[in-house]
């Protein structure tokens, strides 16, 4: 997507042909900083510290992390060490495991002297594929918004979409998942307005989604996380769209903490609640998302302190709780399939159910039950 006149992806191969550039998302929205990753340790650190974040981008970064690892040492042991290091960075988004399995399964049969080139090639492919997938999610989601917009009888004003966290181009390689349909709808002339949940504690909505939407010129307002229910009760939300970090076989979706409460409020107010996802976010081995998806618990300091720009112009941390209080920081929750109106994938829209998913990914239905 563009920032000013310049097109960006969230990750790309440096001009030197081997190191990998990322947008350091911990500096946004106040500074646009690029960081260069030169080793698998750099890639793992960038995922762990959330300089890169969002399920598809985590997967893409891990793929390049494997390429950086193979460049220095390409024996079997190093494949396993590098993959293990990357897999241990964050537990919830399944795209990480997906990308690493794809890389290791391709690398192992190759002779060591061919592994580095092959790893770069597959990492590049995974990135390009992610862009195509998200563009396609955008097309299917755009059709949905267009239909809802046309069917909206007797209501004037903007078409209001609520989203949670950041599932935009920063969370993927480009386009985004939940935001891709919104960008397309806006570009096609539908007067979209986005309610952006701030998304405590790390404020991915306030910092990243608002930054993306502003750069693209999409009208939006940042709201506190608890405002969505009130807006839905008063007819001010036409549609909710979020992303997901892992979708279980039964259609349960795991996303940023607070998504479940939005889905409950949407259900109570008959507001359609859609989740946008690329195929690699589906965990076909996970039968029941609520019971089985591992939920990352992060540093409590993210709850007790907030990052922001100070009046001096410096970026800093501000303590918001009394000294010595304890906090817990659950980073994700699972929305049961029964609260999800539909899943927007690169292959079309389906119900949030095993049957719905298999109707779009029939090859998974043919595999033996796992
Ligand atoms: O902790 P984060 O910022 O990595 O969480 C990101 C999300 O929850 C996104 O909604 C999800 O990864 C979908 S991104 C297309």
Cα 115 to ligand 1 centroid, rounded to whole Å: 31
pLDDT at 153 over 90: no
Residue 272 is encoded by which pair of tokens? Answer: 């359609």
pLDDT at 25: 98
Residue position matching structure tokens 């300089």: 51
- Of the candidates 163, 161, 184, 168, the residue with the CA atom closest to the CA atom of residue 28: 168
Do 339 and 271 reside in the same domain of the chain? yes
Pocket of ligand 1 (CB under 6 A): 53-56, 93, 165, 167, 171-172, 176-177, 204, 243-245, 255-256, 331
Do 259 and 206 reside in the same domain of the chain? yes
268: left (phi over 0), alpha (psi -120 to 50) or beta: alpha
Looking from the CA of residue 55, the nearest atom of ligand 1 is 12
**Which of 102, 129, 156 is where one domain is finished?**
129
**Which of 99, 129, 159 is where one domain is finished?**
129
- Whether residue 196 contacts residue 17, with contact meaning beta carbons closer than 8 Å, is answered with no
Residue position matching structure tokens 């209501």: 155
Cis peptide before 122 (omega within 30 of 0): no
Cα 318 to ligand 1 centroid, rounded to whole Å: 24
The rounded percent of the chain whose pLDDT value lies above 70 is 99
Do 206 and 280 reside in the same domain of the chain? yes
Do 122 and 192 reside in the same domain of the chain? no
- State pLDDT tens for residues 172-225: 999 999 999 999 999 999 999 999 999 999 999 999 999 999 999 999 999 999
pLDDT at 155: 83
pLDDT at 369 over 80: no
Residue nearest to atom 6 of ligand 1 (CA): 54
**Looking at residue 274, what DSSP letter applies?**
E
Residue position matching structure tokens 């829209």: 349
3-state DSSP: the chain helix, strand, coil percent, rounded to 5?
45, 20, 35
Return phi, psi of residue 146, to 5°: -60, -45
Do 21 and 93 reside in the same domain of the chain? yes
- Mean pLDDT score, 341-349: 98
Residue 363's pLDDT band, with cuts at 50, 70 and 90, is very high
Do 152 and 226 reside in the same domain of the chain? yes
Beta bridge partners of 308: 316
The rounded percent of the chain whose pLDDT value lies above 90 is 96
Residue 63's pLDDT band, with cuts at 50, 70 and 90, is very high
Q: Is position 320 within any domain?
A: yes
Do 296 and 152 reside in the same domain of the chain? yes
pLDDT at 368 over 70: no
- Mean pLDDT score, 88-99: 98
Looking from the CA of residue 281, the nearest atom of ligand 1 is 13
Looking from the CA of residue 255, the nearest atom of ligand 1 is 8
Can you give the residue range of the structural domain that contains 332?
Answer: 139-369
Residue 154's pLDDT band, with cuts at 50, 70 and 90, is confident
Residue 291 is encoded by which pair of tokens? Answer: 């019971």
Do 201 and 298 reside in the same domain of the chain? yes
CA-CA distance, 241 to 137, in Å (whole number)? 12
pLDDT at 228: 98
- pTM score over 0.95: yes
Please state, rounded to an integer, the average pLDDT across all residues of the chain. Answer: 97
Cα 168 to ligand 1 centroid, rounded to whole Å: 9
Q: Structurally, how many domains does the chain consist of?
A: 2
Q: Is position 7 within any domain?
A: yes
pLDDT at 367: 83
Q: Is position 134 within any domain?
A: no
Cα 314 to ligand 1 centroid, rounded to whole Å: 27
**Best substitution site from 96, 255, 260, 277 to test ligand 1's pocket, by max atoms within 8 Å of Cβ?**
255
**Which of 100, 129, 158 is where one domain is finished?**
129
Do 157 and 191 reside in the same domain of the chain? yes
Looking from the CA of residue 204, the nearest atom of ligand 1 is 3
pLDDT at 185: 98
Residue 317's pLDDT band, with cuts at 50, 70 and 90, is very high
Q: Is position 174 within any domain?
A: yes
pLDDT at 370 over 70: no
CA-CA distance, 347 to 360, in Å (whole number)? 6
Active site amino acids: 245
Residue nearest to atom 5 of ligand 1 (CA): 54
Residue 168 maps to which CATH number? 3.40.50.10470
Residue 121 maps to which CATH number? 1.20.120.420
Do 112 and 160 reside in the same domain of the chain? no
- Convert 193-256 into a string of H (helix), E (strand) and C (coil): EEEEECCCCCCHHHHHHHHHHHHHCCCEEEECHHHHHHHHHCCCCCEEEECCCEEECCCCEEEE
3-class secondary-structure state, position 83: helix
Cα 195 to ligand 1 centroid, rounded to whole Å: 17
Do 41 and 73 reside in the same domain of the chain? yes
pLDDT at 293 over 60: yes
CA Rg value for the chain: 20
Do 328 and 183 reside in the same domain of the chain? yes
Residue 296 is encoded by which pair of tokens? Answer: 């990352």
pLDDT at 53: 98
**Best substitution site from 48, 51, 137, 166 to test ligand 1's pocket, by max atoms within 8 Å of Cβ?**
166
């Amino acid at each position: 997507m563009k920032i000013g006149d310049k097109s960006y992806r969230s990750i790309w191969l440096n001009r030197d042909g081997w190191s990998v550039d990322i947008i350091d998302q911990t500096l946004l929205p106040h500074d646009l900083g690029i960081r260069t990753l030169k080793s698998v340790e750099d890639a793992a650190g960038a995922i762990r510290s959330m300089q890169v974040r969002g399920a598809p981008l985590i997967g893409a970064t891990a793929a390049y992390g494997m390429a950086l690892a193979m460049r220095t040492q390409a024996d079997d042991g190093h494949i396993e060490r590098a993959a293990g290091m990357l897999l241990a960075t964050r537990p919830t988004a399944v795209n990480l495991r997906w990308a690493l399995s794809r890389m290791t399964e391709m690398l192992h049969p190759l002779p060591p002297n061919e592994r580095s080139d092959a790893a770069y090639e597959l990492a590049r492919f995974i990135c390009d594929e992610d862009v195509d997938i998200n563009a396609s999610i955008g097309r299917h989601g755009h059709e949905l918004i267009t239909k809802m917009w046309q069917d909206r009888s007797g209501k004037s004003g903007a078409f209001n979409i609520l989203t949670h966290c950041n599932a935009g181009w920063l969370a993927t390689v480009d386009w985004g998942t939940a935001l891709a349909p919104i960008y397309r709808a806006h570009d096609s002339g539908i007067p979209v307005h986005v309610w952006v949940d701030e998304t405590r504690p790390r404020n991915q909505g306030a910092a990243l989604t608002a930054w993306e939407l502003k750069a693209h010129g999409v009208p939006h307002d940042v709201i506190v996380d608890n405002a969505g229910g009130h807006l839905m009760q008063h007819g001010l939300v036409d549609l909710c769209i979020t992303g997901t970090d892992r979708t279980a076989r039964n259609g349960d979706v795991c996303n940023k903490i607070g998504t479940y409460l939005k889905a409950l409020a949407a259900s109570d107010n008959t507001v359609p609640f859609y989740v946008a996802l690329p195929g690699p976010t589906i965990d076909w081995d996970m039968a029941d998302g609520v019971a089985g998806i591992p939920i990352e618990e992060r540093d409590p300091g993210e709850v007790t302190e907030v990052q922001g720009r100070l009046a001096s112009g410096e970026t800093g941390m501000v303590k918001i709780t009394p000294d010595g209080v304890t906090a817990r920081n659950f980073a994700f929750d699972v929305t049961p399939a029964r609260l999800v109106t539909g899943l927007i994938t690169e292959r079309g829209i389906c119900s949030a159910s095993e049957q719905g998913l298999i109707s779009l990914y029939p090859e998974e239905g043919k595999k033996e039950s796992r």
